[in-house]
């Protein structure tokens, strides 16, 4: 009988633990997701865009600098509109209004600037215009779409160099994870096969690249694995596979100040 009660108790405990665990996971309702993706504007907005609220560009190059366009609108309402704020769905899209206060029947314009650098691929961004009409809902939304062609020259994204190997960073902060990635780019005209120079690198440090072979003009990751108990702040990882002096192929390893 004792065994039976013990089994029932264990089953109840497992159910309770499962319920507690599931209570910590917050599931966002589908309606909430839809409301974020389709923000409701005020009904019968007096902001009328002369060429519509959808702005498109065909294809622009990632390295060409900011793209710009002007959207004109008219206040079709019988009250003055005060533009309080213009919010963007991405920092790559910025906007500025030529007027803050627009009286009934007046025209105004909003200048859009899109910064394509670092945002290759299809573009789908929005501007939310909040005015004195409603503090909670945007009075209007401008939709921007287009396509950004990836830059052929990726070196600007990798400011640190070790010869023809370009790196996003040349210091790695060790925070206890044991595995770290450093984005890299092969700017040479030959294949690179890289590893840690075990003779000179800090003990307990290994390195590989993904992919294993970096072809010319290829991006990848340096994957650094550390036994951090054996690494001191300021120790070096020396990269094997570069035709450089020892001092010119080092990565510095930094220890986090966070207490373990």
Confidence bin at 37 (pLDDT 50/70/90) = very low
Give me the pLDDT at residue 6, please. 55
Predicted confidence (pLDDT) at residue 175 exceeds the cutoff of 50? yes
Mean pLDDT of 108-128: 91
User: pLDDT for 1-33, tens place per residue?
Assistant: 454 455 545 555 544 444 443 333 333 343 443
pTM of the model as a whole: 0.50
Average pLDDT, the chain: 84
Highest mean pLDDT among 43-47, 135-139, 190-194: 190-194
Contact 101, 107 (CB under 8 A): no
Give me the pLDDT at residue 27, please. 36
Alpha helices in the chain (DSSP H): 2-23, 30-37
Mean pLDDT lowest among 27-41, 75-89, 215-229? 27-41
The β-bridge relationship of strands 250-255 and 171-174 is parallel
- What distance in Å separates the CA atoms of residue 185 and residue 212, rounded to the nearest whole number? 13
Mean pLDDT of 90-109: 94
Mean pLDDT of 118-146: 92
């Amino acid at each position: 009988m004792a065994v039976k009660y013990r089994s029932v108790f264990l089953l109840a405990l497992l159910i309770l633990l499962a319920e507690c665990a599931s209570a910590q996971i917050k599931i966002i309702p589908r309606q909430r997701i839809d409301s974020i993706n389709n923000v409701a504007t005020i009904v019968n907005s007096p902001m009328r865009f002369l060429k519509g609220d959808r702005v498109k560009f065909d294809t622009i190059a990632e390295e060409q600098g900011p793209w710009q366009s002007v959207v004109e609108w008219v206040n079709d309402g019988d009250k003055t509109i005060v533009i309080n704020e213009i919010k963007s769905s991405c920092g790559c899209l910025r906007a500025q209004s030529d007027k803050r206060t627009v009286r009934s029947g007046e025209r105004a314009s909003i200048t859009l600037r899109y910064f394509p650098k670092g945002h290759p691929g299809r573009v789908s961004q929005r501007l939310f215009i909040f005015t004195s009409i409603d503090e909670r809902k945007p009075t209007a939304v401008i939709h921007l779409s287009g396509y950004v062609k990836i830059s052929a020259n990726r070196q600007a994204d990798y400011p640190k160099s070790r010869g023809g190997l370009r790196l996003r960073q040349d210091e790695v902060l060790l925070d206890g994870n044991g595995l770290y990635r450093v984005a890299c780019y092969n700017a040479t005209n030959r294949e690179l096969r890289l590893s840690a120079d075990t003779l000179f690198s800090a003990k307990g440090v290994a390195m590989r690249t993904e992919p294993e072979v970096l072809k010319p003009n290829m991006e990848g990751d340096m994957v650094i694995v550390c036994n951090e108990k054996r690494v001191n702040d300021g120790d070096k990882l020396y990269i094997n596979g570069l035709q450089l002096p020892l001092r010119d192929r080092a990565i510095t390893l930094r220890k986090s100040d966070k207490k373990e």
